[in-house]
Amino acid sequence: MTIVSVYAVFANAEEAERIGRAVVEEGLAACINIFAPVRSIYRWKGAVESASEAAAILKTTVDRADALITRIAALHSYEVPCLVTWPIDKVIGPYADWVEDSTG
C-alpha cells in the first residue's frame, strides 16, 4: 500500500479540527496537521478576495484517499473546498506502517 498526503483548506481552525477529528475517528485518515491561521488571496466569482483560513495536511493511503476527500467535502462549509492529494515519494517504513494500520 502507498500513502499520500491530502492538503485541505478550511474556513477556520475549529472547522479543520472538527472535520479532522471525524475523519480520523472514521479511519479515513491517520492524522491531521492543522496550520492556522493562513492568509489566502484568491479569485472567487469574478472578484479577488482575501481571508484568514486554516490549512491542513492529512495522511492516508492511496486506497482511502477518494473516500477521505469525499467525506471532507460533505462536512465542509465551502461550496468548492480545496482538497488535493500530494504523493509521498519517500517515507520511513514505520511511519508508513502506522498510516496503513490507522486507516486499514
List of domains in the chain: 3-103 (3.30.70.120)
Grid coordinates representing 15? 472547522
**For residue 55, pLDDT beyond 90:** yes
Burial of 58 per CB tally in 10 Å (0-12, 13-18, 19+): buried
Segment 93-102 shows an average pLDDT of 95
pLDDT tier for residue 1 given thresholds of 50, 70 and 90: low
Percent of the chain with pLDDT over 90: 94
pLDDT interval class at 104 (50, 70, 90): confident
| DSSP helix/strand/coil, 29 | coil
Whole-number pLDDT of residue 12 = 97
- Give the pLDDT score at 11: 98
Kindly tell me the burial class for residue 89, based on how many C-beta atoms sit within 10 Å of its own C-beta (0-12, 13-18, 19 or more).
Answer: exposed
pTM (global) more than 0.75 = yes
Cβ contacts of residue 88 below 8 Å, gap of 6+? 2, 3, 4, 5
Q: What is the pLDDT of the chain when averaged over all its residues? A: 96
Q: What is the pLDDT of residue 16?
A: 98
- Give the DSSP H or E segment for 66: helix 62-75
